[in-house]
Structure 1
Amino acid sequence: MLQNNKKQKSLNRRFLLILGGAAFICFLVLGSMLIFWDRFGLSQTQRFAFGGVIIIYGIIRFARLLRKEKNEEE
């Protein structure tokens, strides 16, 4: 029989991964809303810039979370 020697993630780490994924989705939705919804009282250029910054911030946070999880497994 093959044995799997990988450690199982703790409940705390699993919760933080799920919470980080939810935060990523929220940032993605918020940035998309800013870009495509024109009722915010901002000009089109400001909406694209601010929405893009929020989406990029969400991507960076999620990438750091995944990189942190990979480093902790080693």
Structure 2
Amino acid sequence: MLNFDIFKQKSPKQRFLLILGLIMFVFYVVLGLAFVFYEPIALRLSTIPEWGRIAIGIFLIIYAFVRLLSLGRRD
């Protein structure tokens, strides 16, 4: 179930950390998708095999969602 208490009035510090957490979530998802789908990264990282590049991308996406879940559980 979604916790909508996250949108209640917060102190400026808590609001800043919430916004920073959401920005970092988006950053990790975009970076993970870039590793998986963006071909020029494959050329620059030629020492990493394709399966390794895809594994890094998937790990980054999973890590982004773990961070988002932990962000929602904080008080």
Give the TM-score normalised by the residue count of structure 1.
Answer: 0.76
The one-letter amino acid paired with 2:23 is A
> RCO (CA 8 Å, sep 6+): is it higher in 1 or 2?
2
Q: Secondary structure at the match of 1:39?
A: helix
Gaps of 5+ in 1: 1-6
1:1-74 equivalences under 5 Å are 8-40=9-41, 41=46, 42-68=48-74, 72=75
State the shift of 1:52 in Å: 0.4
Larger Rg: 1
2:3 aligned residue: none
Equivalenced residue count is: 63
TM-score (norm 2): 0.75
Q: Deviations over 1:30-60 (max 9, x none)?
A: 0000001123323221111000001111110
Structure 2 stretches lacking a partner, 5+ long:
1-7
Report sequence identity in percent. 40
Which has more helix, going by share of residues? 2
Please state how far the C-alpha of 1:62 moved relative to its aligned partner: 1.1
